[in-house]
Structures are given as structure tokens and as C-alpha cells.
Structure 1
């Protein structure tokens, strides 16, 4: 039951195509947790961008819309091309949906996951991102003798599942831990390593090749 205190997720939609924008607005207005805001107001919790592909122009536009990399982005793309997903994550991209897979349910699920601090990437892009992270670790970090803080096995397991877009309840079921235990693990990881939020923790683990 909706209450007056229900937290609304403010979403701005950016699309050069009027039909695409109208379709995304229809999806957005179908869920009472989501509310549309103008990109000009700069108060969006999440910005949805519909683009042909993820390239340097996309990254430049994201930089213009969020100079401090503080805004979270969901990209709706025709193809992902040869994007630098590590840079995309650094710029605030937290989810990617292929246009042909962007159903109403997938769109809403992606927004709710991102608002909850998780990521939302299709399996094919998760593999691309992990390959890029491993390559960076092998070619940049290791030759420079850089090391990263160690994480316990169960901390790594939780961060990995967060990176796949699972919520606390789903992670609890998969790892056979209580939801309280999962929340405590997440809190401990963020506190011990000074991460700002779950997304920061997952991004660190990906960059470091831990997951």
C-alpha cells in the first residue's frame, strides 16, 4: 500500500528520438515508485539515456550531465560496440539494457536495482567488463607492483552477486545466509575500506580483479 512517506525515485530521460522517449516515459509512469523529472533540474536520482552505442560521444555527454560523476546512469543501447566499460562505470553508468531487451519489467527492475545501490548489466557485458578489468590488472597494476586490500571469501561472494544485480534477499537465498548477515557483510566491507556506497565497493572489486 502506498503511503505519503514512500520514497520516490526521480528519473530523467534523455533521448533524441521522440518515440523512444515516449515509450520509456510510459514504462516509467507505470510504477508508482518512479517519478519523472527534467534533466535541466539536475535533481535526478538516475538518468536514463537512450543512445545507439556506447562510445566517446556517449562518455562526453555523460560528463556534461554529471561533471562530478555523482549521477547514476542507465543506458538503453542498440549495440554496445567497443566501449571502455571501466570508464563508463567511473563516469556513473550503473546499468545497460539492449533496446530489444528493454521491456517494461526489465526497465523498472533495472531502475530499482540501481536505486538500491546495485548494478544492472546483461551477462554478455559483465563478461566484457571483467575481461577489461583483468587486462588492466595484468598490464597496469601488477607491473607497477600495486596491491589491493584483501577481502574475505564471503565478502567477495557478496560483492560479486551485487555486481550481477541481485538484491539482499536474493543474495541471502543464494549464499544461505540471513538477510541480516548479508547486510552486516556489506556494512563491514564499506566501513573497513572507506567505500562510499555499495556501487563504490563493487566498482573497486571489479577494478582490482577481485570479482
Structure 2
């Protein structure tokens, strides 16, 4: 989501006070970041709406994804308007696929999170870009490949079916470049499309397939074997 000013408003979500203090310490020297109060889960009313509108990016720190943290994550991502930077100690494959499908745009390993890496993840997320550690990308691709092989085996055995083809070739081309971390302008240059055309392609497929955002579209394309 584009940020309308040169400052990025950030809310911090961490059950552990020490984790929250550590994130604040990482961000307090960044002049373009403003940490704003976060409203409690499920909060409503004018005050909560003001905070939600002010927060361009949410930063959430967890050890692992359990039921309470998954519920909070889904609440933060509701509506697809606010990107989330997730800082995790570890993620198992099912948890990894879940957070990607929820719409998380950036994931950082806690032991690798420095002030510079956190700020860069926030900045890129605010611009609508995705940030994943290299080893995490490999795990996502590996899990998707396993799912595709499982689907193919089920189809051959007569116990299931491979999902029908649902993406046009140019949609696949756009999503493949999006998965490589390219922005709209660079994708348009590589495919010789206008930026408006690229945006229309993404909007069309997300509307047709009921996908929440670009990260969800990439996750869908990976899971279904289109890219």
C-alpha cells in the first residue's frame, strides 16, 4: 500500500514485553518511522479506527504461530489494507503456508533481525513489496512442489483431481515476476505492458479467484503449480 507521506506509521504487536521493547529500540533511531499505539484485538469505535487508519505497517513478533497469534494475525490482515511484517523464531511448513495465504508480505527470522533489516522490511512492505529470507523461499517452493506431486498422484489413482487451469498465460507471467520481488513498474518494462495493464491483470485475477492481495495471489499460483 503506498504511503502518503515520508513517514511510516508502525504498530507493534508482541505478547512478550521484552520483544516489544526490542523492536521499539530497533526503530527509535529511524527518522522516517513513527511507532503509534495499537488498539486491542477486536477493538471498535472512533479511536480504534483512527489508529488503524494511521498505521501503514504492523510489526508482529512471535515464537511460533499458535491459535491466539493466528487469530491476531488474521485480524491485523483483515481487509488487506495494512501490510504485516512478521518476526518469528521458527515456522513449520503448515504454519508457513498459512501465514503466506493470510497475506503476510514480509517475514524475518528473529535471530537475523537487525535494525537495518527490520527497517528495510517495513519500508518495502509499505510500498507493497514482499520480503522473505532466501531459505524461506526454498521451503515454500519445496512445500508447493510436494503438494503438486500429491495432487498428481491422487488424480492418477482416481481419488482426486488436479485443480483446473485458472490463469491466463499473461497472468502467470505477471505472477512469476511478482514472485521474484519485482514491482509494478519493473514488471511492465519486462513484459512490455503499461503499468495500468499490469495493475488490471492483477486486479482481475484477484477478483476472479477471491484473493486478498498480491502475496496471496503469488501463494495461490505457487500452490496450484502455475509458477
| TM-score normalised by structure 1 residue count | 0.74
Structure (1 or 2) with the larger CA radius of gyration = 2
The structural deviation recorded for 1:96 is 1.1
Q: What does 1:13-92 align with in structure 2 at a 5 Å threshold?
A: 13-40=12-39, 41=48, 43=52, 44-63=55-74, 65-66=75-76, 68=78, 70=80, 71-92=82-103
Closer/same/farther in 2, CA of residues 136 and 111 from structure 1, 3 Å limit: same
Distance 1:125 1:67, change over 3 A: closer
The 3-state SS of whatever aligns with 2:129 is coil
Question: Which whole-Å deviations, capped at 9, do the CAs of 1:29-83 have from their partners, x for residues lacking one?
Answer: 43344322222035133221111123444323323x3383634321112222344
Match of 1:131 among 142, 145, 154: 142
Q: How far apart are residue 12 of structure 1 and its match?
A: 0.9
Q: Which has the higher contact order (CA 8 A, sep 6+)?
A: 2
Q: Look up the match of 2:222.
A: 206
The CA distance in 1 between the partners of 2:14 and 2:35, in whole Å, is 14
- Verify the 8 A CA contact 1:15 1:21 in the aligned structure 2: yes
**3-state SS, counterpart of residue 22 of structure 1:** helix
Change (3 A) 1:30 1:166: farther
Alpha-carbon distance in structure 2 between the residues aligned to 1:134 and 1:185: 30
Are 1:102 and 2:110 counterparts? no
Match of 1:177 among 176, 190, 198: 190
Unaligned runs of 5+ residues in structure 2 are 40-47
Cα RMSD after superposing both structures: 3.3
Asked if the contact 1:11–1:45 (Cα under 8 Å) also holds between the matched residues in 2, the reply is: yes
* Structure 1 portions without partners, runs of 5+: none
| Offset at residue 8 of structure 1 (A) | 3.8
CA deviation profile, 1:6-38 (whole Å, cap 9, x unmatched): 254332111233343223223334334432222
Q: CA separation in 2, counterparts of 1:55 and 1:125?
A: 19
Assess if the C-alpha contact under 8 Å between 1:10 and 1:37 holds in 2. yes
Contact kept in structure 2, 1:118 and 1:167, CA below 8 Å: yes
